[in-house]
Amino acid sequence: MTAKTMRAMVLRAPGEPLQEMTREIPTPGKGEVLIRVKACAVCRTDLHVVDGDLNEAALPVVPGHEVVGTVEACDDDTEGFEIGDRVGVPWLGWTCGKCHYCLGGLENLCEQAEFTGYTRDGGFAEYIVADFRYCFRLPDSFSDIDAAPLMCAGLIGYRAYRMVGEAKNIGLYGFGAAAHILTQVACHQNRNVHAFTKKGDLAAQAFAVELGAIWAGDSDDTPPQPLDAAIIFAPVGSLLPAALSVVDKGGTVICAGIHMSDIPSFPYDLLWHERTVRSVANLTREDGEEFLEVAPEVPVKTVVHPYSLSEANKALEDLRLGNFEGAAVLAID
């Protein structure tokens, strides 16, 4: 590696556009790898970071937590990784490994956790430093740009999906990057997917049916049969009582986003009959390893819309406005 500087899209203050800057290429510390970024998908969580909905960002920070790239430098402490290896870097970037959450199999709840693109610099840049423990080897069947959405839309979405248990009839609220991946997984496993979109979003509804959903409608519509479980990806609190109203007795509603608007009050009758509401926080390495085995078996086909690194602000705005189906990905030369 001869270059000493890199381009990076940097968030300096919430609510401001990202600034393209020239920075020194970071130096990996003990147990870290330096990765040359090839692609980084753009997630709704990036919007929450940029907008200040998540207010503990280590500013200035480089967003981006769906990273695919190749290892450029590592040391003897990065067990199992060599220069040239292709890896993926997810949202969960570091944990202490010592607290009762980490020791109890819930590293996703570690109180000292660090997060890629939020409390440590992420993948909207030409290079990134990552803890080798939180790097995933990627299936060869996915190109760099196609693999990028798997690192969050896939991984954290899959953690939410695991929480539905054996549910046969599943509702997905908010048909974005995560839902378009999970629909394929669920259909492969012979589940019935019901897709709920913004009112009148016929393009998203058609997209859901194309991917295998047996029904698609507006978020306030009633599906043709009661649901065993529902996953809410859209950051809209009013969807919780809406989902409870169409989930059958003993069913589960899972809130899969990291941020959601306030949940309105609702009658206890919606929750009665042993319905359950729960949230999803981050991911574990076990989630990632399991999903990356499942994805090529389906096989998952990600629908991606490429942007250059310099177009990161446009990609974020297009995501905000719902200007595409699937996932936006920064393709970095």
CA-based radius of gyration for the chain: 19
Secondary structure tally for the chain: helices H, strands E: 9, 17
- Contacts within 8 Å (CB) and 24+ apart, 181-184: 181/149, 181/150, 181/153, 181/154, 181/157, 181/295, 181/300, 181/302, 182/157, 182/158, 182/231, 183/208, 183/211, 183/212, 183/213, 184/211, 184/212, 184/298, 184/300, 184/301
Q: Which domains does the chain have, with CATH numbers?
A: 5-155+282-331 (3.90.180.10), 164-279 (3.40.50.720)
Contacts of residue 202, defined as CB under 8 A and 6 or more positions apart, other chains included, come to none
- List per-residue pLDDT tens for the chain, 333 residues long: 567 999 999 999 999 999 999 999 999 999 999 999 999 999 999 999 999 999 999 999 999 999 999 999 987 778 888 999 999 999 999 999 999 999 999 999 999 999 999 999 999 999 999 999 999 999 999 999 999 999 999 999 999 999 999 999 999 999 999 999 999 999 999 999 999 999 999 999 999 999 999 999 999 999 999 999 999 999 999 999 999 999 999 999 999 999 999 999 999 999 999 999 999 999 999 999 999 999 999 999 999 999 999 999 999 999 999 999 999 999 997
Amino acid at 205: Q
Amino acid at 78: T
Q: Which of 322, 324, 308, 325 is nearest to 40 (CA)?
A: 308
Question: Residue 235 in contact with residue 261, Cβ under 8 Å?
Answer: yes
Q: Classify 170 as helix, strand or coil.
A: strand
164-177 burial by CB neighbour count: b if 16+ within 10 A, else e? Answer: beebebbbbbbbbb
Cα dist from 93 to 32, 71, 303, whole Å: 11, 16, 25
